[in-house]
């Protein structure tokens, strides 16, 4: 029979034409050959949402920093403020005068040592209480957290005044409990720094405590149980297990504590009455205030502010470098 699909060998020949071009893969949809769309007009959308915040930050941060840097290069005293004399450009003259002053280096050294002591003490107290929070029951944990958050929320002026009353040589309960009589904590240089350090730690440790506690709760309980079954002590568990796992959190709280404690002003100014006897408890923030407003040397005060800003920027860059080494997204 002519035109039959059956061949002489009995096999059936298919009349369906075979497509020799692109065929759709089995079990899936055809993949698009188009390249990813590059960022177009939609790339401006995030900046539109960020524009109000950027405007506020520009007004509250960028412009004051610009004015601070500008005044540090001028001769700007009370005569220029009142308009009696024009402001003249001094270049780096204010910085040369500042770096040539031995008192500046003494205050800078005292600020670095005091800030380091505050940071170490705050981290030690905060981390210890964070571990304690994981060991107590719900009611003591809630009471401790509420007490810590209350200390954290207390204004610096109020907290400093309360601590002065507690350590008052005439009416303070601390001297009576310790049997120190009329001992003045703010008279000596080191005792005054110690008193301020205690107040700074008191109002700063809750942040470290809550942050580290949240990090500990995120650690799998099986890891801690395995370390305890191996006979590790609590200190060994913290040093060898918790601290490495909490390293990103510890870096964050450490850098933030450095920034906060390096620019302490209110506690020193209130508790030592403006820097202590003959300026023995002066730190950079109080030193800048004394230069700018007590001595009307606004250009020198601005130069001190710029130096502090550069130091804190250097600390921030170190923080970002540590995050990059740990693979964190910036």
CB 186 within 8 A of CB 271: yes
Beta bridge mates, 77: 297
Sign of CA dihedral 207, 210, 213, 214: negative
CB 249 within 8 A of CB 212: yes
Extract the tokens encoding 188.
């000596």
pLDDT of residue 97: 92
The residue among 108, 269, 277, 270 whose CA lies nearest residue 188 is: 277
Residue 154: C-alpha distances to residues 81, 135, 319 (Å): 36, 27, 28
Distance spanning both ends of the chain, measured CA to CA: 79
pTM of structure: 0.78
> Which region, left, alpha or beta, applies to residue 279 given φ > 0 means left and ψ of -120 to 50 means alpha?
left
pLDDT of residue 197: 95
| Cα 264 to Cα 203: distance, rounded to the nearest angstrom | 12
Residue 48: C-alpha distances to residues 39, 45, 53, 54 (Å): 15, 5, 10, 10
pLDDT of residue 326: 63
The residue among 150, 144, 153, 146 whose CA lies nearest residue 125 is: 144
In which residue are the tokens 């205050």 written? Answer: 107
How do residues 251-269 score in pLDDT, each as one tens digit? 889 888 988 999 899 999 9
pLDDT of residue 117: 95
pLDDT of residue 270: 93
Q: What's phi and psi for 12, nearest 5 deg?
A: -90, 125
Q: Can you list the residues of the chain whose pLDDT is less than 50?
A: 1-25, 27-32, 34-35, 37-40, 330
In which residue are the tokens 């040093």 written? Answer: 239
CB 134 within 8 A of CB 213: yes
Extract the tokens encoding 84.
């009696």
Beta bridge mates, 75: 88
| Cα 217 to Cα 220: distance, rounded to the nearest angstrom | 8
């Amino acid at each position: 029979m002519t035109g039959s699909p059956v061949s002489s060998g009995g096999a059936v020949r298919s009349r369906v034409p075979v497509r020799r071009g692109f065929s759709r893969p089995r079990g899936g949809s055809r993949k698009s050959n188009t390249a990813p769309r590059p960022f177009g007009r939609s790339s401006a959308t995030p900046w539109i949402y960020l524009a109000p915040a950027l405007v506020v930050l520009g007004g509250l941060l960028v412009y004051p920093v610009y004015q601070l840097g500008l005044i540090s290069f001028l001769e700007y005293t009370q005569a220029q403020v009142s308009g009696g004399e024009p402001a003249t450009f001094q270049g780096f003259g204010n910085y040369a005068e500042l770096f040539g002053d031995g008192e500046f280096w003494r205050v800078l050294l005292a600020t670095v040592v005091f800030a380091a002591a505050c940071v170490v003490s705050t981290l030690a107290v905060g981390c210890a209480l964070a571990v304690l929070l994981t060991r107590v029951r719900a009611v003591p944990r809630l009471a401790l957290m509420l007490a810590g958050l209350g200390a954290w929320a207390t204004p610096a002026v109020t907290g400093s005044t309360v601590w002065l009353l507690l350590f008052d040589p005439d009416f303070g309960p601390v001297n009576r409990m310790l049997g120190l009589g009329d001992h003045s904590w703010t008279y000596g240089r080191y005792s005054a720094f110690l008193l301020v350090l205690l107040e700074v730690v008191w109002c700063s440790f809750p942040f470290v405590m809550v942050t580290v506690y949240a990090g500990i709760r995120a650690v799998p309980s099986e890891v801690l149980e395995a370390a305890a079954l191996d006979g590790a002590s609590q200190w060994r568990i913290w040093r060898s297990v918790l601290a490495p796992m909490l390293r990103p959190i510890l870096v964050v709280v450490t850098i933030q504590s450095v920034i906060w404690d390096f620019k302490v002003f209110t506690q020193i100014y209130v508790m030592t009455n403006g820097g202590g006897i003959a300026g023995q408890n002066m730190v950079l923030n109080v030193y800048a205030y004394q230069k700018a407003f007590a001595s009307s040397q606004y250009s020198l005060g601005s130069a001190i502010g710029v130096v502090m800003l550069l130091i804190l920027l250097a600390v921030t860059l170190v923080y970002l470098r540590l995050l990059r080494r740990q693979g964190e997204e910036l």
